[in-house]
Amino acid sequence: MEEIGMNNIKKEEVAVVTGAGGTLCSELAVDLARKGYRVALIGRSLEKLRKTEKMIKEADGNVLSVSCDVRNLAEVKRAHALINEQFGACSILINGAGGNQPEAVTNINEFNERELEEEQGELRGFFNLDMSRFLDVIDVNIMGTVIPCQVFAPDMVRLGKGCIINFASMNTYRPLSRVPAYALSKAGIANFTQWLAAYLAPAHIRVNAIAPGFFLNDRSRKLLMTPDGNFSERGSNILRQTPMKHFGEAQELVGCMNWLINEEASGFVTGITIPIDGGFLACSGV
């Protein structure tokens, strides 16, 4: 864990954003800073965090960046101590860290008998997935959400208020083809969000989740687009079942986040998972 930057501290509330170097959560972090929050950025990549930090500083925001693996309890505790020392107690936690592993993704949509043969070539089905990589996906998405909640929520208990937003997915609702580990973990996020919302309600902490549809970032662009800028077969299939006929843009998550963190607007809202998907879940495709 390493601190990489901070500018002048003002006396506002503190928001912690994990996965803050990513396309989606960097947008949320910048918006929080514009609203006057002191924003603590958490992520594994110092280079990516620096990019988000630079955007916040250019907007005259208050930012503290900390490199940390959210799966590691000791590292998250050290990050928490540093943030408390420099910025104060956390009142908003955005759990955006997560991801997938290529070795945990099949390259076929249904069972093929060649999976059971000794020589499988390039074929990767369920029966020859790398289980260590499968577990990595579950670890980063599930424990990478659970651990920050356990470490940062006590700040909110002491403050007598707080808001946690977890990141779910379309896989929360539908097990999309080829990504069993990711689908399993994101379904778990919705369940954990409900459980934690009920558990923390007496402490006046609200817990909800955002479920982005298909947004373009560095990882998804390789799957949904071709090198010449056209849509891949998977990208075309997704758009065919998306009534709004385009992929999401990061700024389209901001309004939902702002509603969820606003005590006056959503003070009676907890335990829900909100799809932001251009109508994907509403469309059967037939």
pLDDT tens, position by position, 214-272: 998 777 777 777 888 787 888 888 899 999 998 999 999 999 999 999 999 999 999 99
Closest CA relative to residue 208, chosen from 159, 156, 257, 157: 257
Contacts of residue 74, Cβ cutoff 8 Å, sequence gap at least 6: none
CA atoms of 152 and 175, how far apart (whole Å): 30
Indicate if 85 and 226 belong to the same structural domain: no
Whether residue 260 sits in one domain with residue 193: yes
Token code pair at residue 21: 């170097």
Q: Are residues 36 and 175 in the same domain?
A: yes
Percent of the chain with pLDDT over 90: 81
Locate 15 and state its tokens. Answer: 């928001």
224 and 83 in a single domain? The answer is: no
Q: Where are the alpha helices (DSSP H) in 72-178?
A: 73-86, 131-138, 144-159
- Considering 37, 173, 182, 199, which one is annotated as catalytic? 182
Q: Which domain covers residue 253, as residue numbers?
A: 12-100+133-212+249-274
Please indicate whether residue 182 is annotated as part of the active site: yes
Q: Choose between 224 and 18: higher pLDDT.
A: 18
Global confidence as pTM: 0.93
CATH number of the domain residue 164 falls in = 3.40.50.720
* 149, 239: one domain: no
Label residue 1 by pLDDT band (50, 70, 90). Answer: low
Residue type at 278 in one-letter notation:
G
Q: By the 8 A CB rule, do 61 and 52 touch?
A: no
